Amino acid sequence: MPNADNAVPKTDPSPNPDEKLVKVFDSEQEPEALVVQGLLESAGIEAQLMATDLNQDAFPGLGGVVLLVSEEDAGEATRIIESYRKSPPVDDETAEING
């Protein structure tokens, strides 16, 4: 008889290949996109980061990254991103004063 304590944990279901994804964020800076991706994922919204890098010899300064979410999560993701964009940036001096 198998022991319940040794049971294999369930894995997340595979993503649905037919699920429609929509772009909710783009940036030239990957670190900023990673911060936003973390905000979305901490809210329970799965976000996919995709690079849009172009050949810099042919298209200098073009490219960046975009975040895609499921169509059903797009509204909530947009609200979270707008809130992030409205928040004032935190610098080291502000952090020391407030913290």
Q: In which domain, by residue range, is 63 found?
A: 21-85
Contacts of 78 (CB under 8 A, 6+ apart): 24
Q: What is the pLDDT of residues 39-94, one digit of tens each?
A: 999 999 999 999 887 666 666 667 789 999 999 999 999 999 999 889 877 665 55
Whether residue 67 contacts residue 26, with contact meaning beta carbons closer than 8 Å, is answered with yes
Does residue 5 form part of some domain?
no
What confidence score (pLDDT) does residue 11 get? Answer: 45
Q: Which amino acid is at 99?
A: G
Q: How confident is the model at residue 97 (pLDDT cuts 50, 70, 90)?
A: low
Whether residue 68 contacts residue 33, with contact meaning beta carbons closer than 8 Å, is answered with no
Does residue 70 form part of some domain?
yes
Task: For residue 60, give the CATH number of its domain.
Answer: 3.30.70.1530
Does residue 92 form part of some domain?
no
Does residue 38 form part of some domain?
yes
Does residue 14 form part of some domain?
no
17-26, 30-39, 90-99: which is most confident: 30-39
Could you give the CA distance from residue 84 to residue 25 in angstroms, rounded to a whole number? 11
